Structure 1
Amino acid sequence: MTDSSTPGPSGSGSPTDRSWWGWGTVDQALSDAECTALGKLIPGAADTPLPVPDVPALALPKVRVRPPSALAPLMSSAPRDRASHTYGKAYRDVLRALAGDVSAAPDQVVRPRTEQHVIDVLDWAAEADVAVVPYGAGSSVVGGVEYRADARHGVVSLDLSALDQVLEIDRVSRAARIQAGALGPDLEAQLRPYGLTLRHFPQSFEFSTLGGWLATRAGGHYATLFTHIDDLVESLRVVTPVGINESLRLPGSGAGPSPDRLFLGSEGTLGVITEAWMRLQERPRHKASATVVFDDFHAAVEAVRAVSQSGLHPANCRLLDPGEAALAGVAQDGESVLVLGVESAHAPVDARLTELLALARDHGGTPMSGGPDGGDTAARTWRSAFLRMPYLRDALARMSVVTETFETACTWDRAPELYETVRGRLTEVVREVTGAVGTVNCRFTHVYADGPAPYFTVIAPGRRGAEVAMWDEIKSAAMDLLHDLGATVTHHHAVGRDHRPGYDRQRPEPFALALGAAKRALDPAGILNPGVLIDPTAPAFNDSKPAAFSDPTTVG
Structure 2
Amino acid sequence: MTRSWWGWGNVEDAVRGEELDALLSRVRALTSGELTGHEPPDPASLGLPAPRVSPPDALAGLCSADPADRAGHAHGKAFRDVVRNLRGDLRHVPDLVARPRHERDLAALLDWCSGEGIAVIPYGGGSSVVGGVEPRFDDRPAVTVDLERLDRVLEVDPVSRAARIQAGVYGPHLEEQLRPDGLTLRHFPQSFEFSTLGGWLATRSGGHYATLYTHIDDMVESLRVLTPSGVSESRRLPGSGAGPSPDRLFLGSEGILGVITEAWMRLQRRPEWRARASVHFADHAAAVAATRAIAQSGLHPANCRLLDASEALINTGVAVGGGVLLLAFESADHPVQASLDRALELCRDHGGEVPERPGGRGAGDAWRSSFLRMPYQRDALARHAVIAETFETACTWDRFAELHAAVTEAARTAMREVAGEGVVTCRFTHVYPDGPAPYFGVYAPGRWDGLVAQWDEIKAAVSEAIAANGGTITHHHAVGRDHRPWYDRQRPGPFAAALAAAKNALDPSGVLNPGVLVDAPGPAR
TM-score, reference length from structure 2: 0.98
Q: Which residue of 2 aligns with 1:204?
A: 191
- Which of 318, 337, 342 matches 2:329? 342
Q: CA deviation at 1:127?
A: 1.2
* SS of residue in 1 equivalent to 2:254: coil
8 A Cα contact 1:35 1:49, kept in partner = no
| CA deviation profile, 1:48-67 (whole Å, cap 9, x unmatched) | 21111122212212211111
Q: Which residue of 1 aligns with 2:83?
A: 95
Letter in 2 for 1:314: P
| CA deviation profile, 1:212-239 (whole Å, cap 9, x unmatched) | 0000000000000000000000000000
Alignment partners' CA distance in 1, 2:482 and 2:295: 31
Alignment partners' CA distance in 2, 1:350 and 1:131: 53
- Which of 211, 227, 230 matches 2:214? 227
8 A Cα contact 1:312 1:356, kept in partner = yes
Q: Which residue of 1 aligns with 2:394?
A: 409
Q: Which residue of 1 aligns with 2:166?
A: 179
| 2:70 is the counterpart of 1:86 | no
Letter in 1 for 2:32: G
Q: CA deviation at 1:123?
A: 0.1
| CA deviation profile, 1:475-496 (whole Å, cap 9, x unmatched) | 0011110110011000000000
- Which of 392, 399, 403 matches 2:384? 399
Alignment partners' CA distance in 1, 2:422 and 2:63: 45
Q: Which residue of 2 aligns with 1:385?
A: 370
Q: CA deviation at 1:329?
A: 2.0
- Which of 479, 482, 490 matches 2:463? 479
Alignment partners' CA distance in 2, 1:251 and 1:293: 40
Q: Which residue of 2 aligns with 1:51?
A: 39
| CA deviation profile, 1:426-454 (whole Å, cap 9, x unmatched) | 211210111x1101110000000000000
Q: Which residue of 2 aligns with 1:445?
A: 429
Alignment partners' CA distance in 2, 1:352 and 1:32: 42
8 A Cα contact 2:272 2:330, kept in partner = yes
Q: CA deviation at 1:35?
A: 4.5
Alignment partners' CA distance in 2, 1:53 and 1:315: 42
After superposing on structure 2, the runs of 4+ consecutive aligned residues of structure 1 that deviate more than 6 Å are none
Q: Which consecutive residues of structure 2, in runs of 5 or more, have no partner in the other structure?
A: none
* SS of residue in 2 equivalent to 1:367: coil
Q: Which residue of 2 aligns with 1:304?
A: 291
Matched pairs, number: 522
Alignment partners' CA distance in 2, 1:235 and 1:485: 36
| 2:449 is the counterpart of 1:465 | yes
| 2:110 is the counterpart of 1:125 | no
Aligned counterparts, 1:142-153, within 5 A: 142-149=130-137, 151-152=139-140
8 A Cα contact 1:35 1:398, kept in partner = no
Alignment partners' CA distance in 2, 1:32 and 1:465: 26
* SS of residue in 2 equivalent to 1:275: strand
- Which of 519, 526, 540 matches 2:510? 526
Q: Which moved more, 1:39-48 or 1:298-307?
A: 39-48
Q: Which residue of 2 aligns with 1:367?
A: 354
Alignment partners' CA distance in 2, 1:100 and 1:35: 23
Q: Which residue of 1 aligns with 2:300?
A: 313
Alignment partners' CA distance in 2, 1:150 and 1:425: 33
Q: CA deviation at 1:34?
A: 5.6
Alignment partners' CA distance in 2, 1:161 and 1:100: 26
Q: Which residue of 2 aligns with 1:161?
A: 148
Q: Which residue of 2 aligns with 1:116?
A: 104
8 A Cα contact 1:59 1:102, kept in partner = no
Q: CA deviation at 1:139?
A: 0.5
Alignment partners' CA distance in 2, 1:330 and 1:220: 25
Q: Decide whether aligned partners of structure 1 residues 123 and 376 sit closer, same or farther in structure 2, where only a CA change above 3 A counts.
A: same
| CA deviation profile, 1:188-210 (whole Å, cap 9, x unmatched) | 00000100000000000000000
- Which of 406, 409, 424 matches 2:409? 424
Q: Which moved more, 1:97-106 or 1:286-295?
A: 97-106
* SS of residue in 2 equivalent to 1:366: coil
Q: Which consecutive residues of structure 1, in runs of 5 or more, have no partner in the other structure?
A: 1-15, 547-556
Alignment partners' CA distance in 2, 1:266 and 1:206: 22
- Which of 240, 258, 272 matches 2:259? 272
Q: Which residue of 2 aligns with 1:325?
A: 312
8 A Cα contact 1:216 1:264, kept in partner = yes
Alignment partners' CA distance in 2, 1:97 and 1:35: 20
| 2:475 is the counterpart of 1:491 | yes
| 2:502 is the counterpart of 1:515 | no
Q: Which residue of 2 aligns with 1:250?
A: 237
Q: Which residue of 2 aligns with 1:551?
A: none
Q: Which moved more, 1:425-434 or 1:351-360?
A: 425-434
TM-score, reference length from structure 1: 0.92
Q: Which residue of 1 aligns with 2:179?
A: 192
Alignment partners' CA distance in 2, 1:128 and 1:188: 39
Alignment partners' CA distance in 1, 2:42 and 2:520: 36
Alignment partners' CA distance in 2, 1:479 and 1:21: 26
Q: CA deviation at 1:76?
A: 0.5
Letter in 2 for 1:139: S
8 A Cα contact 2:92 2:138, kept in partner = no
| 2:17 is the counterpart of 1:29 | no
Q: CA deviation at 1:335?
A: 3.9
* SS of residue in 2 equivalent to 1:371: coil
| CA deviation profile, 1:455-510 (whole Å, cap 9, x unmatched) | 00010001111000000001001111011001100000000011111101100000
Q: Which residue of 2 aligns with 1:553?
A: none
Q: Which residue of 2 aligns with 1:455?
A: 439
Q: CA deviation at 1:346?
A: 1.1
Alignment partners' CA distance in 2, 1:327 and 1:200: 26
